[in-house]
Structure 1
Amino acid sequence: MRKRFYVPSYFSVVKRNLRECVFCRRFKSRTISINQSPYRKWRVSPPNVPFRYLFMDFIGPLSVKQQGKKGKIYLLCITCMWSRAVNLIICLDLSVKEFLRAFQIHCFQFGIPEYCISDLGSQLVSASNIIIDYIKDHDTQSYFERNGVQSLKFDQFVKGHSQLGSMVEVCVKLVKRLIYGAIGKNVLEYHDFEFLIQQVIHLVNRRPIAFKEALRDQIGDDIPEPITPENLIHGYDLISVNIIPELHEGRDPDWIPENYSQSKFKQDYNQLQKVRNNLVKLYQEEFIANLIHQAVDVPDRYKPVTHNKISPGDIVLLKENFTKPNDYPMGVVKEIFTNTLGEVTGATILKGKTQELVKRHPSVIIPLLTRKDEIPNNSKVDVQESVVPKDTRVKRQAAIDSSERTRKILEA
């Protein structure tokens, strides 16, 4: 075509037609980028009260022995946004009943929270709806007002961006490494496992999260004293020592509990001692050796990006792992969530094939068609309209008169 015709603005015309092609959009469009975390406000400045704002997630399954039989249990990991403290509660399964029981135990220990965030787990969503409906009565709301506590609110971060739950996921990773590294291939009795979980809570909450003085302002070789979640919760560092004789290496060899065989005692002691030594070793390696590692591991983390905003009614594609672009599911945007910058941080989308409502993060949403776009009825392109765009600029009167005289000369 270029040998026989001269097309003005050739590259611009081609790019414009490619942008308007629905099939090209499906294979070449990118997901939406944002410049701000959707939870920046409450993550930066949460209330200065332990476990007033918190993250929740499950850990497991973990194997234990109950009445001589091997079974599975789970842990509810609750992370405080202000103090970064961790609380672990044992659950027998992942049912709604067990979650309500574990959440009630946490409320007994640290009081009722104001804001709870979790993933889209079915038991977490169902339990949150039950709690919200139950505390709507007038007496409970009046009790909250008298004590200066806002009504409990649950929220679930949208699927598709793992960093949204990074605060709780980091603590889950620490707890898993401590438990699995300490136990190894051993399967503890339930009461021994419960004892180990309390020791894990004690060690995790003693991890340094900040220094009382900055390293660059410190004079000398002394390392400044660290701040720990335990110090923020209690106001001081807990003085804890082992008071159970079998946990001490230098125990009295003649001490034997009643109705307890010596072989059984040695077996349990060796197992617990091995677990405890592994636990302390992992604590030293994981927490103390990585204090200086901060937000420098990801390049261009704070580099500004161009944000493409979507609106309800737009047609989008949902990016899925291990799926080809031709097989990405299509959906219609029903609701959007924005941040302080006006950027879309999440959307509720109605899938076209399954007719189910899902919540997704912009990092997995590919804009396809907006409400302003018009799909052409056929694939034919008018060369005259596409190649020679209309000139909409305002012309001077002298230019108009000159064009008219030129037209008359050519006609003559």
Structure 2
Amino acid sequence: MADLPKDRVEPSTPFTYCGMDCFGPFVVKMGRKEIKRYGLLLTCMCSRAIHIEMLDDMPTDAFINALRCFIAIRGSVRQIRSDQGTNFIGAKNEFEREAKVNKLSSFLVERQCDFVLNPPSASHTGGVWERQIRTVRSILNSVLSLCPGRLDDASLRTVFYEVMSIVNSCPLTVSEIDNPEALEPLTPNHILTAKSSIPQPPPGDFLKEDLYLHKSGMNRVGTFVVET
């Protein structure tokens, strides 16, 4: 096995070195229409923390807007790695890839951020973020199975952020369950927020009357109701 890249082992602030990929689609309800939404996952190469942004569509402009939101929240990024899949540049089929990559590269150059693509047909080199996407998908499947109806944009974005918090609460160190005096296991949330990790409440019950409520010809779906 080859050595890990330097950005995986060198001490750095969170999200200085990142890997990213897109996942989805998810079908949401907007009025009487059903529209596809996607998720953009960025993971810190050092702390294994993740950040998820919702993409309205897959063109380059929407992707750059999501990156701008990410940088505004998490701070400047030194390097971003990604594969050469068509989902990254925002298309299911390969079209005008070179022009789109150049447009994205110019945006990152303005922010002094390197953009590194993996070798073609070498998805295994992106195992860091591919494994995180698998974890996110497993949690999303469990949460969305509680809701038989379609979510709207606000509800899907809320679910993304809650899943992000759950993944960032995974321990990075060994948990000594049998020792009551042991320190709390270190998690990415400790690094990001400098706060003790507090268990997140369940997303709540998706009531039938909230899932299929008709009002003025519009469908309101995906309302969260948390029991106290």
Does the aligned pair in 2 maintain the 1:96–1:126 contact within 8 Å? Answer: no
In structure 2, the CA distance between the partners of 1:106 and 1:128, relative to structure 1 (3 Å rule), is farther
Residue of structure 1 in register with 2:9 after alignment: 44
Contact kept, 8 Å, 1:100 with 1:127, in 2: the verdict is no
Alpha-carbon separation, structure 1, partners of 2:190 and 2:179 = 24
Q: Which residue of 2 aligns with 1:203?
A: 166
Relative to structure 1, the CA distance from residue 210 to residue 163 in structure 2 (aligned partners, 3 Å threshold; closer, same or farther) is farther
Alignment of 1:306-385 (within 5 A): none
Tell me the SS of whatever aligns to 2:23: strand
Task: Quote the residue 2:135 is aligned against.
Answer: 174
Name 2:154's counterpart in structure 1: 191
Counterpart amino acid of residue 155 in structure 2: D
**Match of 2:217?**
none
Q: Deviations over 1:144-166 (max 9, x none)?
A: 8xxxxxx3100011133433111
> How much has 1:84 moved relative to structure 2?
0.8
Give the alignment of 1:12-411 within 5 angstroms: 35-37=1-3, 40-45=5-10, 47-122=11-86, 123=89, 127-134=100-107, 151-184=112-145, 185-211=148-174, 221-222=179-180, 225-237=184-196, 239=198, 247=204, 264-265=209-210
Q: Percent identity?
A: 22
The amino acid across from 1:133 in the alignment is S
What amino acid is the match of 1:52? Answer: T
Equivalent residues, number: 208
Q: CA-to-partner distance for each residue in 1:322-378, whole Å, 9 max, x for gaps?
A: xxxxxxxxxxxxxxxxxxxxxxxxxxxxxxxxxxxxxxxxxxxxxxxxxxxxxxxxx
User: 1:247: Cα distance to partner?
Assistant: 4.3
Aligned CA RMSD, in angstroms, stands at 3.5
- The change in CA–CA distance for 1:160 and 1:263 in structure 2 (over 3 A counts) is closer
> How far did residue 272 of structure 1 move?
5.6
Cα contact 2:19–2:45 (8 A) shared by 1: yes
Q: Secondary structure at the match of 2:169?
A: coil
Q: Structure 2: how far apart are the matches of 1:133 and 1:114?
A: 14
Please give the alpha-carbon distance, in whole angstroms, between the structure 2 residues aligned to 1:73 and 1:135. Answer: 24
Is the contact made by 2:210 and 2:222 (CA closer than 8 Å) also made in structure 1?
no
Q: Which residue is equivalent to 1:409?
A: none
Q: Which amino acid aligns with 1:170?
A: R
TM-score by length of 2: 0.75
Give the Cα–Cα distance (whole angstroms) in 1 for the partners of residues 174 and 74 of structure 2: 25
Alpha-carbon distance in 1 for matches of 2:53, 2:99:
19
Q: Is the 8 A contact 1:157 1:164 kept in 2?
A: yes
Counterpart code for 1:200: V
Cα distance in 2 for residues equivalent to 1:62 and 1:170: 19
Cα shift at 1:183 = 1.0
CA shift for structure 1 position 126: 5.0
Instruction: Summarize the Cα distance change of 1:238–1:40 in structure 2 as closer, same or farther, 3 Å threshold.
Output: same
Q: Give me the TM-score of the superposition, normalised by structure 1.
A: 0.44
Aligned-partner Cα distance in 2 for 1:221–1:273? 37
How far did 1:67 drift? 1.7
Tell me if structure 1 keeps the 8 A contact 2:37–2:54: yes
Structure 2: gaps of 5 or more residues: 91-97, 214-220
Q: 1:118, 1:156 within 8 Å by CA — same for their partners in 2?
A: yes
* Structure-2 change in CA distance of 1:225 and 1:58 (3 Å): same
